[in-house]
Amino acid sequence: MTLAMRLLFPLLIGCSLVAAQDFSDLNVEKVAAGYKFTEGPIWSRAGYLLFSDIPQNKILRLTPGKPVETFREQSNGANGNAFDTQGRLYTCEGGARRVTRTDRNGKIEVLADRFEGKRLNAPNDIVVRRDGHVYFTDPAFGASEDTRELDFYGVFHITPRGQLELIAKPKGRPNGVALSPDGRILYVANTDERNVRAYDLDRSGKASNERVLISNIEGGPDGMKVDEKGNLYIAAKTLVIYSPGGKLLHRIELPEIPSNCAFGDPDLQSLYITARTSLYRVRLNVKGSLPY
């Protein structure tokens, strides 16, 4: 291979990867309906999707090809959900103002409910890195705003040893949270400020170098996920897709305003989207990145 070809080869590979990303002719399919407010979708490697119906106080389970069934009653206002590498479920129980972990036998453990002696506001969304570091947001929406003990909205980190650390105290309310495919960048959506911030994460899970990655998101961002190429899929007025560098790539229009999303199905090429009263699915030609 000549020097010119060696210099050109990486560019050609990069161009082919971009070209392979095709968002045209996407079909939005409604897979379930009749709920009050859906949130917190997460795919299990066991082959099913979990999602929350916050007002009905339930976590629901969708196994492809089967009707939706109740996974957990009395979920304490469960919102965001996440799995770890052991298949344990982490849940932001907004009604109980705590973060819990449920093992595969159904035993529930409280991981965080207070910071410096004061109750959390209403944990909202959560993600778990492969090495066990947990990140969650703690805003306050609706009635939880009136009963706050903390005088700030927080972005928190739980270490594998169970220590609770504060990452940031943004002025606006933090909401969705996600990780880059390599686990080195934490993304946090801020609904009030209509932006997404990025933080660098080191091996010990510490966050640094806070910066605004995406600004002026129409409708205010909510939940989000990342695909294998590092693109961000953000629920806002529509489902918007941004590159890792913050460039808008595409919008997926839905019949309802989306709240969150998750990659699923055995090939991880379906994007499940929670949107108010319904659950939607869109098939893509790119796989999702599961942080666990």
Q: Report the alpha-carbon distance of residue 289 to residue 244 in Å, rounded.
A: 13
Q: Which of 182, 176, 179 is nearest to 196 (CA)?
A: 176
Q: Per-residue pLDDT averaged across 161-189, rounded?
A: 98
Q: Sheet of 58-62: strands edge to edge?
A: 38-44, 48-53, 58-62, 69-72
Interatomic CA distance for residues 233 and 223, integer angstroms = 9
Distance CA 204, CA 193 (A): 29
Residue 227 is given by DSSP the state B
pTM of the model: 0.92
CA distance 189 to 221: 6
β-strand partners of 214: 196
- The neighbour count for residue 281, using CB atoms within 10 Å, is 19
User: 22-283: which CATH topology?
Assistant: Neuraminidase (2.120.10)
Q: Give residue limits of the domains in the chain.
A: 22-283
C-alpha pair distances (Å), 32 with each of 50, 251, 278, 281: 12, 22, 6, 9
Q: Coil, strand or helix: which one is 86? A: coil
At residue 18 the predicted structure's pLDDT band, cuts being 50, 70 and 90, is: very low
DSSP tag of 151: S
Q: Give the model's confidence band at 2: pLDDT under 50 very low, under 70 low, under 90 confident, else very high.
A: very low
Query: How far, in Å, CA of 122 to CA of 97, rounded?
Result: 5
> Quick one: which H or E segment has residue 12?
helix 3-20
CB atoms within 10 A of CB 166: 15
Name the CA radius of gyration of the chain, rounded: 19
266 vs 12 pLDDT, higher one: 266
Element (H, E) at 8: helix 3-20
Can you tell me the distance from the alpha carbon of 265 to that of 115, in angstroms, rounded to the nearest whole number?
37
pLDDT band at 291 (very low <50, low <70, confident <90, very high): confident
How many CB atoms sit inside 10 A of residue 8's CB?
12
Q: What is the mean pLDDT of residues 149-169?
A: 98
- pLDDT, tens digit, 9 for 90 and up, residues 97-143: 999 999 999 999 999 999 999 999 999 999 999 999 999 999 999 87
- pLDDT tens digits, one per residue of 228-287: 999 999 999 999 999 999 999 999 999 999 999 999 999 999 999 999 999 999 999 999
